[in-house]
Amino acid sequence: MPRQPVGERLVCYLPAMRRAVCPGSYDPVTNGHLDIIGRAAGVVDELVVAVLVNKNKKTLFSVEERVEMLREVTSDLPTVRVDTWHGLLVDYCVANGVKAIIKGLRAVSDFDYELQMAQMNYQLTAVETLFMPTNPLHSFLSSSLVKEVATYGGDVAHLVPESVHTRLVRRLTERA
Ligand code: PNS
């Protein structure tokens, strides 16, 4: 994009298409993810929720199932699109004209690794990372903990969307 140096600053004189990505494993999507997705969609023109595929990570749901669940629970958000990608997140960003990665930060403990990834991603392709503080209601919430609690019979109905909860209970029952 053309940029005009003005003094010390670089000023964009063409409006950018503000397309951002919320990447993750989403195995499965939780209310914490949904909070970030909804708020992120409010500050960009288009938000891609990208299910990143990590072949070394064992997941409870297939990529197709994770995408389906995400599509169901974001169907009320017209500017949100769900996609998948095998490989580096920055390559997805370059291939799809994505200007920024938006990540939720639950607590300071998330920050070290997220900062490292943000810096790595920036030096690879100059893609920006924007951090959004998680709603404190969800700061303890992760897909892994939801799966663990549900596996041992704990109630997680208030932590994930209803359709996800139904699938989660069904999957864990099948596996038991
Ligand atoms: O939901 P998760 O598992 O915490 O998401 C992590 C994810 C998928 C966003 C991260 O592992 C990622 O970006 N993976 C894609 C591969 C990649 O680009 N790795 C280099 C990161 S600097």
Choose among 39, 134, 47: nearest CA to 99: 47
Average pLDDT value over all residues in the chain: 93
- Identity of residue 70: L
Quick one: pLDDT band at residue 17, thresholds 50, 70, 90? low
- In the chain, where the domains are located: 15-139
**CA distance between the termini of the chain:** 54
**Does 52 score more than 90 pLDDT?**
yes
CA dihedral (141, 147, 150, 155) in degrees, to 10, reads: 20
Which one of the listed residues 19, 99, 103, 106 is annotated catalytic?
106
Choose among 117, 96, 119, 118: nearest CA to 48: 96
Which element (helix H / strand E) includes 107? Answer: none
**pLDDT (mean) for 21-48:** 98
| Cα 165 to averaged position of ligand 1 atoms, centre (Å) | 24
Choose among 91, 74, 70: nearest CA to 24: 70
Q: Which atom of ligand 1 is nearest to the CA of 85?
A: 15
The pLDDT of residue 55 is 86
Distances (CA, A) of 53 to 17, 48, 79, 155: 26, 15, 23, 28
Q: What's the gap between Cα 104 and its chain centre?
A: 8
| Cα 10 to averaged position of ligand 1 atoms, centre (Å) | 30
Choose among 16, 53, 5: nearest CA to 128: 16
What is the dihedral sign for C-alpha 54, 55, 60, 63?
positive
**Tokens describing residue 119:** 């810096």
Q: Whose CA is nearest to atom 3 of ligand 1?
A: 25
Which one of the listed residues 19, 33, 99, 147 is annotated catalytic?
33
- Grouping H, G, I as helix, E, B as strand and the rest as coil, residue 6 is strand
pLDDT tens-place string over residues 76-132: 999 999 999 999 999 999 999 999 999 999 999 999 999 999 999 999 999 999 999
The pLDDT of residue 10 is 60
**pTM for this structure?**
0.91
Instruction: Give the architecture (CATH level 2) of 15-139.
Output: 3-Layer(aba) Sandwich (3.40)
The pLDDT of residue 5 is 57
